[in-house]
């Protein structure tokens, strides 16, 4: 925790990692401070209007985020976060449809691999990976390396009509369970 006035904390998973957003709101001083991953990105002192919005960007792709400050009753306030123009929950639900994430251990270290299904971009621990794609009999394969390890994301048509495309990550030929 960064300050005594922190009133809300959110974690937002983007392709380049999980970002922690903290909001400090001094309701007696009028102070507003936004921290992203512990770094101060907005500071406003002596704001007379205690409600409103603070907009900033998160992550390497500069995803737009907005904190909404609303009075509930008397001196009670409610804080909500919008990411990419959507409520945090809608953003999370949408990302669950458009991305696939795997957490794995490689050479004793933790690895977070994210596939962006719409672009087929692959990210590993916040870095966009160099990939090569190829068509195979049962779908496509996207190849990349993590250190000295060969990785492959296989995109296969689902067995059931409505299941769509299934994505599987192989590390050195071994299937890795998704997050």
In percent, the amount of the chain with pLDDT more than 70 equals 94
**Structure confidence at residue 1 (pLDDT):** 41
* pTM reported for the whole predicted model: 0.83
**Structure confidence at residue 30 (pLDDT):** 83
**Structure confidence at residue 151 (pLDDT):** 95
**Structure confidence at residue 3 (pLDDT):** 56
Q: Which domains does the chain have, with CATH numbers?
A: 6-84 (2.40.128.180), 98-176 (2.40.128.180)
Please give the angle made by the CA atoms of 128, 67 and 8, to the nearest 5 degrees. Answer: 95
Please say whether the beta carbons of 27 and 75 come within 8 A: yes
Torsion from C-alpha of 85, 89, 91, 94, nearest 10 degrees: -140
Tens digit of pLDDT for each residue in 56-72?
Answer: 999 998 999 999 999 99
d(CA 101, CA 75): 41
d(CA 171, CA 109): 14
Higher pLDDT, 68 or 138: 68
């Amino acid at each position: 925790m960064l300050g005594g006035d922190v009133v809300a904390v959110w974690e937002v998973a983007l392709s380049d990692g999980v970002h922690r957003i903290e909001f400090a709101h001094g309701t007696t001083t009028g102070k507003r401070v936004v921290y992203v991953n512990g770094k101060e990105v907005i500071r406003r002192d002596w704001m007379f209007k205690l409600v409103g919005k603070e907009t900033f960007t998160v992550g390497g792709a500069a995803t737009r985020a907005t904190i909404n400050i609303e009075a509930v009753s008397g001196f009670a306030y409610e804080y909500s976060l919008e990411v990419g123009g959507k409520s945090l929950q809608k953003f999370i639900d949408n990302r669950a449809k458009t991305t696939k994430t795997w957490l794995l251990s490689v050479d004793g270290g933790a690895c977070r691999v994210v596939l962006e299904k719409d672009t087929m971009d692959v990210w590993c621990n916040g870095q966009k990976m160099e990939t090569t794609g190829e068509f195979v009999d049962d779908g496509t394969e996207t190849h990349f390396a993590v250190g000295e390890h060969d990785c492959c994301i296989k995109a296969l048509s689902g067995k059931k009509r409505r299941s769509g495309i299934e994505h599987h990550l192989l590390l050195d030929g071994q299937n890795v369970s998704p997050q």
